[in-house]
Structure 1
Amino acid sequence: MSFDLMSSWWGEHEGLLQLLLEALGETVAMVFASGFLGFVVGIPVGIVLHLSKKNGLLEHDLLNKILGIVVNIGRSIPFIILLVAIIPFTRFVVGTTIGTAAAIVPLTIGAIPFIARLVEGALLEVPSGLVEAAQAMGAKPQQIITKVLLPEALPGIINAVTITLVTLVGYSAMAGTVGGGGLGDVGIRYGYQRFDATVMMITVVILVFIVQLIQSIGDHLVKSVDHR
């Protein structure tokens, strides 16, 4: 696209830059707000799943099965269906079903089981010998969790956080298709529905940039805490 064509295109799309900036802010708000809330619930659930499994530190078969079933159900529901299915709950929580605040509700619910399984997987990678050594030295379960399991699993947990945030970027774009706002909404309304491939391409490029930035920061943090 030549400079003249670009100038002409921008002239025909006056106000698009401001719209994209607002949509970017909405996407970032959706991703990090739902990510934070998802981590607050999902990380403890993942820890409990690991501790309550067979031969776990706090083995509890019934609790483990119930949590496992709930998490598996949550992970098996496609996000676009979850988005629509919990509309009454979303309206109850935030008073509306459109906008950024409304999108945060299904994003959070969708993130929790995803995070829980990733955290459980990170804890499974901790060598059992470390836990056994701590038990042999008389460490209590709480001490083993805070001094052994979590520090050793920290790189895996950070990686889980990174993967979740990247996934939420994609989910937030889907939320935009049903009035959730953000870059997905701009891509659909101003790109797809108006047959403007350039607008769609711009939103895709911005989303790719966000994903790359999150992944790069996550990889750097993993390297900085991984001393193996």
Structure 2
Amino acid sequence: MFDFSTTMTLDLFLTSIYQTLFMVAVSLFFGAIIGTVIAIILVVCKPDGISPHAVVYNVLNTIINIIRSIPSLILLVTVLPLSKFIVGTSFGTTAAIVPLIFFVSPYVARLVENSLLEVNDGIIEAADAMGATTWQVIRYFLLPEAKSSLVLSFTTATIGLVGATAVAGAIGAGGIGDLALNYGYQRFDNVAMVSTIVILIIFVQIIQSLGNKISKSMRNRYRRN
């Protein structure tokens, strides 16, 4: 029988939501920058890229594959000592941001790389024929042509990051995951558990719907132009 009693307070619930949003926003900001830069380097330096460089491409590609092969919980725990060095603690919401950046950066890099690779080769060839520099090709041709796909890539990365913040609750990061573990699971609080599931579903639905809407708007604007 479902027990409607709960040890969770509204203040605790709202605090957990804030902590999750804080972790997602900060780690996504830095992870998106790092991942996008890595993705651009991979696309530019790939064997048939704008400026091929086998060593750079193979090193970055291998590092991304290695990090992505590590389960999120293990990766978060492994990077925690670095959190203590950077932010002075290995416990709490702020400390979790460092490992979350490590988690999302290669994820973003691979998604953005795929989006950039979708750009028609003819556009790059045309830019090269006009004498555009590597930076100009990236800035004025590659990124603008891929912007609709990039929005969906960042949407997917954000949703994955929301899930990672929930996992981070297992290492004392706070947020929705911590609430689900310490109240929903350990105290058998059904209300707390269901509440965390519902709020995560709402987060994902909002993020995906917003991403789809923005991407569609960009595609329509591009077609009109």
Residue 102 of structure 1: aligned partner: 95
Q: Which residue of 2 is the match for residue 50 of structure 1?
A: 43
Q: Deviations over 1:43-93 (max 9, x none)?
A: 010000001001100111111001111111111111100111122111111
By how many angstroms is 1:112 displaced?
A: 0.7
Structure 1 unaligned spans of 5+: none
**Percent identity of equivalent pairs:** 45
Offset, 1:98: 1.2
**TM-score for the superposition, normalised by structure 1:** 0.92
1:150-203 CA-partner distances (Å, limit 9, x unpaired): 000111211111111100110000101110000111111111111112210111
Equivalent pairs, count = 220
Name 2:67's counterpart in structure 1. 74
Structure 2 contact 108–154 (Cα < 8 Å) conserved:
yes
| 1:83 and 2:76 aligned | yes
Q: Distance in 2 between matches of 1:29 and 1:86?
A: 19
Unaligned stretches of 5+ in structure 2? none
**Structure 2 counterparts to residues 1-228 of structure 1, below 5 A:** 9=5, 13=7, 16-226=9-219, 227-228=222-223
Partner SS, residue 24 of structure 2:
helix
Alpha-carbon distance in structure 2 between the residues aligned to 1:32 and 1:219: 19
User: What is the Cα deviation at residue 140 of structure 1?
Assistant: 2.1
Counterpart Cα distance in 2 of 1:170 and 1:138 = 44
Answer yes or no: is the 8 Å Cα contact 2:84–2:90 preserved in 1.
Answer: yes
AA of the residue aligned to 1:64: Y
1:97 positional shift: 1.2
Q: Secondary structure at the match of 2:182?
A: helix
Give the Cα separation in 2 of the matches to 1:134 and 1:207: 44
Counterpart-to-counterpart distance in 1, 2:89 and 2:77: 13
Q: Which one has more relative contact order, counting CA pairs under 8 Å at least 6 apart?
A: 2
Task: Please report the RMSD computed on the Cα atoms of aligned residues, expressed in angstroms.
Answer: 1.5
**CA distance in 1 between partners of 2:112 and 2:56 (Å):** 17
Could you give the per-residue CA deviations for residues 95-124 of structure 1, whole angstroms, max 9, x where no partner exists? Answer: 111111011111001111111111110011
